Chain A
Amino acid sequence: MNHVDLPLWVTIPGTLLLVFGGLLVLIGSAGLVKLEHFYARMHPPTMGTTLGTGCVLITSMLVSSALEQRPVIHEILITVFVVMSAPVSAMLLMRAAVYREHRKRPEPTQPLDDIGGTIPPRD
């Protein structure tokens, strides 16, 4: 096995960022279990897709650049694709939940916009 020595200025921030990113994903998943309602549960996993992924990608850029002795920045593309695709799935889930909520109501013709100010009780 090849043993590669990375300089300290890479390993220390890299490790910190990986641990921090991992913690964010963990807390986000814990929130998914802990929170009560679907709407509230939509929020915590976003932590993993934004700052969590960001930390891992910055580490990847740092470590790859140090290993290859040249700037490696194509991880930026991952950020771009995540930023473009993650909100779409979140919005689809949200709208599906709102439509389902309306179907359960006695007056199903209510417009999507007309939802109550507080989250409906859990069934």
Chain B
Amino acid sequence: MKPTPGRWPIALTCVLVVMWLLLNQTLALGHLLIGIVLAVLLAWATRYLRPLQPRISRPWLFVPLLFMVLADIVRSNIGVARIVLGLVGERKVRSGFVRIPLDMRDPHALAVLAGIVTSTPGTVWVGVDEGGKRLTLHVLDLRDESEWVRWIKQRYERLLMRIFE
């Protein structure tokens, strides 16, 4: 079956142009034109590879998301460093799997969540079951399972659903 092309990926085109200019560290007209030609060609090619396009309804919410992720990365880096250096006192660190029921269905939102969770030291994404209803994570310092469920659902899932749905 011949795949049907999706609508034109505007965001991808813009990102590719910006990437080209950053790589060449210039804003010269010539490079801008080459970048636009390349971006349009590549975006045209990927339309057939991936017909499913994300629908981003509130793109400005990526800004608070970015700062939230940065804060969490710094905090969990400190947390994992304490565990490795044995600075957690007498407490025995227990790690394990956490199952989190998800309301989010958008594959792009799930991909972003997977990236966030795995980029944060102390949590690794294991997978979602069929239909994407339940997410499995591995957590290094598992004290309270419901705390992790709350953390993912209230902190990230709600925001990602507002961005993507």
Residues of A within 8 A of B (CB): 24, 27-28, 30-31, 34-35, 37, 39-40, 42-44, 46-47, 49-51, 72-74, 76-77, 83-84, 86-87, 90-91, 94-95, 98, 111-113, 115-119
Contact = CB atoms under 8 A, between A and B. Distances in A.
A87 B114 CA distance: 8
Nearest to A87: B118
A42 B73 contact: no
B136 interface: yes
A40 B32 CA distance: 46
B63 interface: no
Main secondary structure of the interface of A (DSSP, over half): helix
Interface in B137-164: 138, 140, 145
B4 interface: no
Contacts of B121: 28, 43-44, 46-47, 50
A116 B94 CA distance: 13
Contacts of A112: 126-127, 129, 136
A106 B77 CA distance: 38
Contacts of B120: 46, 50
A77 B124 contact: no
Contact of B81 (A47, A74, A84, A119): A47
B37 interface: no
B51 interface: no
A49 B120 CA distance: 10
Contacts of A51: 73-74, 77
Given A44-B121, A47-B81, A95-B126, 8 more contacts: A30-B85, A31-B80, A40-B140, A74-B23, A86-B118, A98-B126, A116-B96, A116-B97
Contacts of A91: 114, 118, 124-127
Nearest to A70: B25
B95 A39 contact: yes
A111 B23 CA distance: 44
B126 A84 contact: no
Given A44-B80, A94-B138, A86 B96 contact: no
B73 A34 contact: no
Contacts of B94: 118
A27 B138 contact: no
Interface in B96-149: 96-97, 99, 114-115, 117-127, 129, 134, 136, 138, 140, 145
